[in-house]
Amino acid sequence: MADSQQLDIDEIVRDSFNLEDAIQLTDKLSQLEPEEVAIALEAMPLEQRVSAWLSLPPEEQIAALTYMRVDARANVFKQLTEQQLKTLVEEMDVDDLIELLDELPPAIYDYACSRLDVSQRRWLDTALTYDDEQCGRFADHNMLIINKNAKVRDALRLFRELAADTEYHEALFVVDRNGCYVGLVHATQLLGLTDFQAIENIIDQDAPWIEGEVALDQASDMVSRSGYNALAVVDENHKLLGRLSISRAFDIVRRNLENQFMLTAGLDEDEDLFSPVIASAKRRALWLGINLLTAFLAAWTIGLFEATLNQVVALAVLMPVVASMGGIAGSQTLTLIIRGLAMEQITPSTYMALLRKELGVGTLNGILWALVIAVVTYFWFGDWVIGGIIGLAIVINIIVAAISGVMIPIWLKKFNIDPALSGSVILTTVTDVIGFCTFLGLGTLFLLG
Amino acid sequence: MADSQQLDIDEIVRDSFNLEDAIQLTDKLSQLEPEEVAIALEAMPLEQRVSAWLSLPPEEQIAALTYMRVDARANVFKQLTEQQLKTLVEEMDVDDLIELLDELPPAIYDYACSRLDVSQRRWLDTALTYDDEQCGRFADHNMLIINKNAKVRDALRLFRELAADTEYHEALFVVDRNGCYVGLVHATQLLGLTDFQAIENIIDQDAPWIEGEVALDQASDMVSRSGYNALAVVDENHKLLGRLSISRAFDIVRRNLENQFMLTAGLDEDEDLFSPVIASAKRRALWLGINLLTAFLAAWTIGLFEATLNQVVALAVLMPVVASMGGIAGSQTLTLIIRGLAMEQITPSTYMALLRKELGVGTLNGILWALVIAVVTYFWFGDWVIGGIIGLAIVINIIVAAISGVMIPIWLKKFNIDPALSGSVILTTVTDVIGFCTFLGLGTLFLLG
């Protein structure tokens, strides 16, 4: 019995720097699942990644690529010669090709297509009628299909032929003579049946199926909640397109959640740890530019109160406190709402209840921290008026932040803008501008007057 | 054939507000998978949630609770009388109880324990020898176990008795006479075998297994990458404790990723959309307090330059631009590194390569945006010196941000502090303080002197 190992990426990455141990590295990689190979390759700088990947046999090279993030994989492709790419695509089946086609140079893609047989070519064409957010595009063709008029004997033969492949092949997909999906037959149902019993009598018709137009993330949720290993994906005429397996669904959900996290910094989940510097700088520059605009807006707001600042420099010193408290309070509400929207748990009938609750939380915390800040300010600057002004500004800004934290993501979602990406920029702009305006405005009113 | 439905939470939540449609709501909930019921219940305000939940039959009540987030579920428990809680726990099996025990009042928990039979009691005691981050605690006992000396006939009987339950029961877990785990037998392997063949000859010993001490998230990764529906969880003597199924692993990975996202705002994944206001305000207050300390630190830094600000008010106006650009650039690096650490893709042998890359990106973007900001500043204040000062401060701050973005999360991880929670507070403090110091320091040097 082989020892059960946990993945040690650290060790593998270290080996990749050691040119003398190339064979040992290949050995280690070959013992891993393809998903683990992909993770290890992504953890290596480009040079090491390419040479480690080149050392793998072709089928493992392809499997690793299909599991790698888009940028990490594109950075490998860029290092290959045309001949290497051609040799590579010759080994790909249609599912690999659908997954990788966006990163292949057009000439290589055409070459790969020209080598597909008629049925694979038809699958490819069907898949491409769906866009890359729809599950019809990525339905997996690696499945066992049986006609509903078949006998148990035929089902047994299908299972026997695939005995070696353990990846979620415990069910047959049953179709009628038009190729329309009818239901599932599970291996466990066949146990103890005789060869000539009819498949038709044991079909599981309770399993949900998925329309090809359904968004990939919704389809993945359906699979994960269904309790089945894989669900059928069908076209508008109910023809079987392929299946979506739980392991694929898992991957999709994981990437979506990762994406949400990365978006908060204006990145996406495909960002490669070791992207070339210039490519990476270019991609991040836009986000910095957008934020610069909002920073200048905040600066301009402050500029409106130059006369006040000139006379009461304490206000300039305390400005970041007002802006920061509003920003933090707002981002707590925003984050909660973004997660709720992602889970589709925020519905029009509960908008008001949510707003009331967040306003309550904002008011309580606003008053609490306003008092603390007012007292600290008094002891710092020895002036109750400045303390009172900053306290009032804090209460107002935290309440505005609570309202914005609820409303901004809901509005963005209505306009189909991803709130995980743009929510926090907009929110911070609101809390900065409102914070500076109330604080410096109150200062002008009570300290200059 | 039933129509394949997508979950419409919106409609269900709307129904929960309509007291006359109580029966219709219960009907709709009963058609959903337990995970979907949990999602719908979480989307309802507390009052609606409790009455919708109470309308379900006991077994569905329990299933929904086990899928709900901790806070959402605790908020339901708080509304129940002692008698309702007792009735509820009477229906729980040991797996439900292990999942829910932390939210049950101690008296109810003791009552529930007293009602378990001997073997369930033993499972509970074994589970509790592991802590709630280890997979031994949550190993699922709902599995088919067979002795390695058994015959195919016995295996068939086991499968037949469980025919109705489709949730990942396509394999038998094989143990020896001491209860030690030996391997798996898949339903597909049994097809076509005769009753008296020995199980021993067909055991799949390639399937990985998981030690009970392994962390829940690592165990989940192992299941997801293995290609199996469920893996055995064993104790230090290799005795079978239970299994970890792919659907459970899915749930754990999803919650971990959600948690990472929520932590960036000082929340956690258990945060209930409709927590009572006071409980919610209390929980968020701490995070605001920590951020207040850092904001006062930034304010104190500015305070060191009061004399300068008094003479050159333009510096006060432009301060937020310097701080904001550093913060954003830093959080891009930070987010990339946090994801890398979570995937265990960041290893000591690549620290320097990462630092070099991020320094390169920071230098490029620093110079680019410093030039833009210098020019804008010149046109705004008509002063090349201020333009030069802010440009230089921006370059320095973005480079410091890049270094901090790499180093802070790596250090935090070394001290076992979650970088998703504290990384951004520390980073922003660094970029604020360094930003204000360089900008106002350069201002003092070149504008007062």
- Each residue of B140-159: pLDDT tens digit? 988 899 999 999 999 998 88
Judging contacts by C-beta atoms under 8 Å, the chain B residues touching residue A253 are 250, 253-254
Measure Cα distances from A105 to A41, A42, A74, A128 in Å: 22, 21, 10, 17
For residue A441, report the phi and psi dihedrals to the nearest 5 degrees.
-65, -50
> Nearest residue on chain A to B14, judged by CA atoms?
A349
> What is the DSSP code string of B290-345?
HHHHHHHHHHHHHHTTHHHHHH-HHHHHHHHHHHHHHHHHHHHHHHHHHHHHHTT-
Q: CB-hemisphere CA count at 13 Å for B349?
A: 17
Mutate to test the interface with B, among A160, A206, A284 (most CBs of B within 10 A): A284
Q: Report the complex ipTM.
A: 0.91
Could you identify the residue written with the tokens 């059960």? Answer: A4
Average pLDDT, chain B: 92
Sheet architecture: strand order including A240-245? A210-211, A230-234, A240-245
**Vertex B144: Cα angle to B140 and B149 (nearest 5):** 130
Using a CB-CB cut-off of 8 Å, the residues of chain A touching B17 are: 349
Q: Which of A170, A303, A347 sits opposite B188 (nearest CB)?
A: A170
Q: Range with the lowest mean pLDDT among A62-76, B154-168, B215-229, B285-299?
A: B154-168
Contact at CB, A266 and B332, closer than 8 angstroms: yes
State the pLDDT confidence band at B160, using cuts at 50, 70 and 90.
Answer: confident
What pLDDT shows up at residue A9?
87
Cβ distance of A357 and B316 shorter than 8 Å: no
**Hey, are the CB atoms on B357 and A275 less than 8 Å from each other?**
yes
3-state secondary structure of B184: strand
**Chain B residues lying within 8 Å of A44, measured CB to CB:** 350
Inter-residue contact A425 to A291 (CB < 8 Å): yes
Return the residue of A nearest to B49 by Cα.
A350
> What are the structure tokens assigned to A51, written together?
């040479």
User: Chain B: nearest CA to A427, how far in angstroms?
Assistant: 13
Contact A222, A344 (CB under 8 A): no
Pairing between strand A240-245 and A230-234?
antiparallel
Q: Cβ B204–A302 below 8 Å, yes or no?
A: no
Q: Which among A281, A287, A361 has the least Cβ separation from residue B328?
A: A287
B77 vs A193: CA distance, rounded Å = 47
Instruction: Report CB contact under 8 Å: A227, B302.
Output: no
Report the pLDDT value the prediction gives residue A449, as an integer from 0 to 100.
65
- Measured CA to CA in angstroms, residue B89 lies from B61, B107, B115, B118 at distances of 11, 11, 9, 17
Q: Which chain A residue has its CA at the smallest distance from B278's CA?
A: A361
> Which of helix, strand or coil describes residue B146?
strand
B269 against B346, higher pLDDT: B346
Structure tokens at A419: 């709130």
Edge-to-edge strand ranges of the sheet holding A145-147: A145-147, A171-175, A181-186
What's the CA gap between B361 and A277, in Å, rounded? Answer: 5
Low-confidence ranges of chain A (pLDDT < 50): 1-3
Coil, strand or helix at A134? strand
Looking at residue A409, its amino acid is P
Nearest 5°: phi and psi at B151? -105, 165
Interface test with B, best of A17, A25, A261, A439 (most B CBs within 10 A): A261
Query: Is the CB of A267 less than 8 angstroms away from the CB of B373?
Result: no
What is residue A233's DSSP assignment?
E
> Is B236 exposed, middle or buried, given 0-12, 13-18 or 19+ CB atoms closer than 10 A?
exposed
Q: Which residues pair with B183 in a beta bridge?
A: B174
**Relative orientation angle of helices A246-263 and B313-342, to the nearest 10 degrees:** 160
Would you say residue B299 has pLDDT above 60?
yes
DSSP B446: I
Residues A294, A428: Cα–Cα separation, whole Å: 8
Q: Are residues A221 and B317, on separate chains, in Cβ contact within 8 Å? A: no
Mention every residue, 6+ apart, whose C-beta is less than 8 A from residue A233.
A135, A136, A139, A209, A210, A211, A212, A219, A240, A241, A242, A243, A244
Strand partners, A243: A140, A232
pLDDT for residue A1: 38
Instruction: State the sign of the Cα–Cα–Cα–Cα dihedral B10, B16, B22, B26.
Output: positive
Residue A111 distance to chain B (closest CA, Å): 32
On chain A, the residues whose CB falls within 8 A of the CB of B35 are: 224-225
Q: Are the C-beta atoms of B370 and B442 separated by less than 8 Å?
A: no
In this complex, do A302 and B317 lie within 8 Å of one another by their Cβ atoms? yes
Phi, psi at B245, each rounded to 5°:
-90, 160
What is the torsional sign of CA B357, B361, B364, B366?
A: negative
Q: Which of A3, A5, A6 to mutate: most B Cβ within 10 Å? A: A6
Chain B residue with Cα closest to A282: B365
User: Does residue B2 surpass a pLDDT of 70?
Assistant: no
Query: CB A39 to CB B218 under 8 A?
Result: no
Compare all CA atoms of chain A with the CA of B204 and give the residue at the minimum distance. A1
pLDDT at B310 over 80: yes
pLDDT band per the 50, 70, 90 thresholds, residue B166: low
For chain B, helix, strand, coil in percent to 5 are 65, 10, 25
**Neighboring chain B residues of A293 at a CB cutoff of 8 Å:** none
Q: Do A335 and B264 touch (CB under 8 A)?
A: yes
Measured CA to CA in angstroms, residue A213 lies from A44, A181, A244 at distances of 37, 16, 13
| A183: β partners | A174
Q: Which of A5, A294, A313 sits opposite B310 (nearest CB)?
A: A313
Of B42, B156, B186, the CB nearest to A345: B42
> Is A33 in contact with B225 (Cβ distance < 8 A)?
yes
Which positions in chain B touch A279 (Cβ < 8 Å)?
Answer: none
The answer to whether A316 contacts B321, with C-beta atoms less than 8 Å apart, is no
Pairs of residues, one from chain A and one from chain B, whose beta carbons lie less than 8 Å apart: 394
pLDDT per residue as tens digits for the range B171-215: 899 999 999 999 999 988 888 888 899 999 999 998 999 999 999
Mapped onto helix, strand or coil, the DSSP state of residue A313 is helix
- Say if residues A118 and A91 touch (Cβ distance below 8 Å): no
Domains and CATH numbers, chain A: 9-128 (1.25.60.10), 145-263 (3.10.580.10), 277-448 (1.10.357.20)
Q: Which of the listed ranges A232-236, B29-33, B341-345 does the model predict with the highest average pLDDT?
A: A232-236
Q: What is the CA radius of gyration of chain A?
A: 29
Model pLDDT, residue B268: 85
Q: Binning pLDDT at 50, 70 and 90, where does residue B106 land?
A: very high
- List of chain B residues whose C-beta atoms are within 8 Å of the C-beta of residue A348: 10
Task: Please indicate whether, in this complex, the C-beta atoms of B321 and A365 are within 8 angstroms of each other.
Answer: no
> What pLDDT was estimated at residue B23?
83
B216-229 CB burial, b ≥16 within 10 A, e <16: bbebbbbbbbbbbb
Q: In the structure encoding, which two tokens stand for residue B301, read together?
A: 């830094």
Q: What confidence score (pLDDT) does residue B42 get?
A: 95
- Report whether pLDDT(B87) > 60: yes
Distances (CA, A) of A425 to A287, B76, B312: 10, 35, 29
Residues 6 or more apart whose Cβ sits within 8 Å of residue A387: A373, A374, A375, A377, A378, A381
| pLDDT given for residue A165 in this prediction | 61
What token pair was written down for A152? 């148990």
A145 dihedral zone (left: phi>0; alpha: psi -120 to 50; beta): beta
Task: Dihedral sign for Cα B123, B129, B133, B134, please.
Answer: negative
3-state secondary structure at position B145:
strand
Q: Are A248 and A256 in contact (CB under 8 A)?
A: no
Residue with tokens 């929207």: A341
Given the structure tokens 């074994």, which residue do they identify? B126
- B198 touches B151 (CB < 8 A): yes
CA B417 to chain centre: 15
Residues of A in contact with B218 (CB under 8 A): 6
| Residue partners of A265: CB distance under 8 A and separation at least 6 | A287, B328, B331, B332, B334, B335, B336
CB contact under 8 A, A35 and B225: yes
